[in-house]
Structure 1
Amino acid sequence: MKAKSYILLAVFALFSTTSVMAGGPGDSPLATRAKTMTQQIAAKTHLNEGQYLKVKQLNLQMLTAVETLKKQRNMDTEAVDKQMAEIQDHYEWDLAAILWPRQMVAYREAKASMTAVNLR
């Protein structure tokens, strides 16, 4: 479970590494990160406008859940790992409902290649 949690964090960190300037005036840091992640996913999967908006909202929900989890200091490592795995599973499930099968394949390939590079 720990490895899955760290992989999730690595993937989201990679999708979030672009300049913070991607957000507009008044955007929260989470909204800016969600927008950046969505732009990177869109570049890999060729989202249409409707998908883009749904993925952006999903990214914001996921980032908010991760931030909320980080703030819960009274949880032990195993509980955090379990919650992080649930967040990841929920995210992947919802993303699969938004993307077409070929887009999901492109997303998984991009995620796998970025995760492999980042773990070194």
Structure 2
Amino acid sequence: MKKVLLLAGLAIALVSAAHAKSGGDASATAQARATALTRIQAEKARLDEGQYLKVKQLNIRMFSEMEDLKTRFAADLAILDERLAVAQVRYEMELTSIMRPAQLAMFQKSRNTMTALSTSR
């Protein structure tokens, strides 16, 4: 779970930096962030075109939901953390349902090697 959150955090950080330069609105930001993340996921898991489109829509929904939650619960960080964790679990379940087992294994392996929490030495 920590690895998933770390990966999502890294993706958000990268896209947020790009957003800060562009100064776009929330919808355009979610689109750009989703596109960037989906490209990485498609490369790592070798998604086909149909899967790419489904994952991109999932990523757009995830980023939009995250922004909404951050706005709604900015005053209560405990509730924000809880709601973000629930959204992350739901995202992971939907992502798992889109990918085939071999793709999911490739994606998990590449994600594990990208994080500082990886146990491979």
TM-score of Structure 1 vs Structure 2, range by shorter chain: 0.7 to 0.9
Partner SS, residue 47 of structure 2: coil
Consecutive unaligned residues of structure 2, counting only runs of 5 or more, are 20-26
Deviation, 1:7, is 5.6
Consecutive unaligned residues of structure 1, counting only runs of 5 or more, are 22-26
Q: Distance in 2 between matches of 1:67 and 1:74?
A: 10
Q: TM-score, normalised by structure 1?
A: 0.76
1:67 matched to 2:67? The reply is: yes
Q: Residue in 2 aligned with 1:11?
A: 7
Query: What is the aligned length?
Result: 109
Seen in structure 2, the aligned counterparts of structure 1 residues 101 and 67 have a Cα distance that, compared at 3 Å, is same
Q: Residue in 1 aligned with 2:87?
A: 87
Q: Distance in 2 between matches of 1:90 and 1:74?
A: 21
Seen in structure 2, the aligned counterparts of structure 1 residues 81 and 103 have a Cα distance that, compared at 3 Å, is same
Seen in structure 2, the aligned counterparts of structure 1 residues 79 and 73 have a Cα distance that, compared at 3 Å, is closer
Seen in structure 2, the aligned counterparts of structure 1 residues 75 and 111 have a Cα distance that, compared at 3 Å, is farther
1:104 matched to 2:100? The reply is: no
Q: Which runs of 4+ in 1 moved over 4 A?
A: 18-21
Alignment RMSD (CA, Å): 2.7
Amino acid at match of 2:91: Y
Amino acid at match of 1:82: E
